[in-house]
Amino acid sequence: MSVDTANGEDLHTAMVDQLVADHAEKGLIMRPAVEAALRSVPRHLFTPDAALAEAYRADQAVVTKRIGDEAVSSVSAPWLIAEMLGQAADAVDGGLGGRHVLEIGSGGYNAALLRELVGPSGSVTTVDIDREVTDRATACLTAAGYDDVVVVCADAEQPVNPGRRYDLIIVTVGAWDIPPAWTAQLAENGTLVVPLRTFGMTRSWAMRRTGDRLVSHSQRLCGFVSMQGAGAHEVRYVDVADGVHLRLDEDQKVDRHAVGALLAQPKTQAWAGVSLPPRTVLADLDLWLASRITDAGQQFVVLTAQQEAVDAGVVAPAWRFGTPAALDNSALCYRSTLRWNDDDMFDLGACAHGPDAASATGRMVGQMRAWLDSGSPSPVLHVLPAGTPDGDLPAGTVLDKRHSRFVLTLTLA
């Protein structure tokens, strides 16, 4: 059936069928309650300015507000919504039925899905800092028959309903830190699901509360529009060569001229000497590298590049939109593009520039082999209040934020 002749119901059914199939391909199982919610809520009612075909694309977010060229509000891609709802359902003991949920970042669609999941005895409150966004969410929720969702316009950096506790807080904007208000509003053993910038990558972390601490239950790579208001944090880009940039997520200082001088030196490349099947997932490798770079006292940065710089051979990053890199005075080293062999298997590599390039690439490929040899360990994130003494932290790589101390540990799966 062509897009031109397909009606909304057909497109809706096809979208959910695709999401279920994609879950299975990733080795995930979609909970029946999540699938039922996705089939119940008509997504096009929350994207009224988009064509039906766009509203029901499983892999596409629909931008609902821009400021200049920047998207500041959107209805997230269905695949990501489905995975985050699955994280929440898996992390909340006993499932979401009857639970009380706070959503931070409002588009309406996710709130409607949550309303289906919590059922008649549960509740959903959704909050956004932008009055235009909350007015739009209210209108869409009412049109879709979900007028019992409470919509609040406020900066969620502060408590939304002081004194009230929620079983689940789910954040649908990109965050850099965990403000105390979020932990305080969680019930004991409650779950926070949040897209969190962590060592250069945004991941949706599902975390459970124990006292004043949060410990992750699962994580997924993702991307979201950035947090606004008091919780906003500027990501800085430093130009180090024509078409090559370093992305700095933390309060870091980089001498762009010194890095440019390193990049001007010949590129050295080394290989780990492994053969991995095409479906090998490398997302956790990047966190492993980030932790090892940090623990070694080097500066962890993220290398980004325009396609022209890659085509010209200036750099050869694994992913030009963001590749983990180690920086010191003698070398800039980063994970490089893959090397494929005749059996459709691939090898891992590292590139470096600078007087210590050979040693730097040797260290990085050694870290890659160590990750594989240790069973590709899964990351666990611990979030503790700022000011927690070092002696009270779990063993791992520490990243200090404004309100929190993050500790990343990597354990065998």
Catalytic residues: 76
Tell me the CA distances in angstroms from 63 to 70, 108, 137, 335, one per residue in order: 10, 13, 13, 32
Determine contact, residues 140/48, Cβ cutoff 8 Å. Answer: yes
Listed residue (358, 355, 354, 302) closest to 326, CA to CA: 302
How many CB atoms are closer than 10 A to CB 275? 12
Which residues, 6+ apart, have CB-to-CB distance to 224 below 8 Å? 76, 105, 172, 173, 174, 195, 202
Tell me the CA distances in angstroms from 151 to 32, 71, 104, 256, 279, one per residue in order: 27, 21, 10, 45, 42
Q: How many residues does the chain have?
A: 413
Tell me the CA distances in angstroms from 227 to 105, 232, 235, 326, 342, one per residue in order: 8, 5, 12, 27, 45
Token code pair at residue 182? 């979020």
**Placement of tokens 């053993």 in the chain:** 189
CA atoms within 13 A on the CB side of 117: 30
Determine contact, residues 140/45, Cβ cutoff 8 Å. Answer: yes
Listed residue (231, 44, 45, 223) closest to 139, CA to CA: 45
SS3 342: coil
Angle 123-61-65 from CA coordinates, rounded to 5° = 85
CA quadruple 187, 190, 193, 198: dihedral positive or negative? positive
Token code pair at residue 351? 């590139």
DSSP 266: P
**Placement of tokens 């009380």 in the chain:** 100
